[in-house]
Amino acid sequence: MRINGTVSSRLKDLGAELRQGVSLTEKTSLGIGGSTDEILLRRYESIPEVMRLLADESIPHRFLGGGTNVLIADGELPYVVLHLPASQSGMSVEGNAAYVDASADLGGMVTFCAKRDLGGMEGLIGVPGSVGGALRMNAGAYGTSIGPHVREIELYRAASGELETLRGSDIRFDYRHTSFAPEDVMLRVKLELPRRPFKEILASIKVCNEKRRASQPLNQKSAGCIFKNPPGGSAGRMIDDLGLKGYRVGDAMVSDRHANFFVNAGNASCSDMLKLIDDVRERVRCAYGVQLENEVIVWQN
């Protein structure tokens, strides 16, 4: 979708930068996605006005965070994407509280806090993506998830069309799911973290990194786990037990390292990946009677 000159100059007045004809293939960890215009939201205060402008002009839009947990359709996309560029001064610590911009890198945040003797997030170290994406999905790994540490979130709230501050207790954080509306935009978070000496945190981080390196295809293009684990089960083990490692549709392939990671082994298209997802889901349903739910967010047009 392309934005016209009038809207473009109004966006500029609001401190938002327009980038035309951006390929989302370059902006997603799967290396899959079509093209569209991108709006960089450089001034938080003007986000409500940018949203009103897009609504008034009937311009469909979606918010793209770190691009590490999303599968985007191919070709020219019928919506523009909004993105928060990472800021220089996005993190600070005061006592046991960490204040972090949603655009910050999640792993960078874990290390920043660790160096200031704040732990509790060690398991999240290798999870790729932004802090905002981690908040929205309640990212987790190795027994840690971000939700329980959240004390306050500043966000653009789609329901009111305004910037709001919510308390952590106002939000439901479940397994890879939260009570945020899909159009809410995370801006900044206050986390409360347990104090722990840097050396100890570093030792735990190393253990998590090693476990991850041993079991996940970290050097391949993926969106992490494709399916949520069913209650009490493991999607990866189920798919593996069906002998599907290495199974492919075009260049979309079930990782031969971890069967719940589907990788782009070359030039996979979105439709290849969707076919692979549906095919594997169906095989699991037939074999185990379990309907796997997507963990990856799919943006079909």
Rounded Cα distance between 200 and 185, Å, is 34
Mention every residue, 6+ apart, whose C-beta is less than 8 A from residue 18: 3, 8, 11, 12, 37, 38, 39, 40
Mask: binding to ligand EPU, 138-177, rule CB under 6 A, as x and -?
A: ---xx-----------------------------------
Question: Is 141 or 189 the residue whose CB approaches ligand EPU more closely?
Answer: 141
Contacts with ligand EPU in 207-226 (CB under 6 A)? 215, 224-225
Output the smallest distance, CB 68 to ligand EPU, in A: 9
Nearest Cα residue to 31 out of 163, 249, 180, 221: 221
Contacts with ligand EPU in 276-295 (CB under 6 A)? 295
Please state whether beta strands 162-167 and 221-225 pair in parallel, antiparallel, or not at all (unpaired).
unpaired
Question: For ligand EPU, how many residues bind (rule: CB under 6 A)?
Answer: 15
Q: Does 130 bind ligand EPU (CB under 6 A)?
A: no
Phi, psi of 145 (to 5 degrees): -140, 160
Tell me how crowded residue 59 is: count the other CB atoms within 10 A of its CB: 17
Q: Does 2 bind ligand EPU (CB under 6 A)?
A: no
Q: Does 240 bind ligand EPU (CB under 6 A)?
A: yes
Q: Does 206 bind ligand EPU (CB under 6 A)?
A: no
Q: Which residues are near ligand EPU by CB under 6 A?
A: 141-142, 215, 224-225, 228-229, 234, 236-237, 240, 258-260, 295
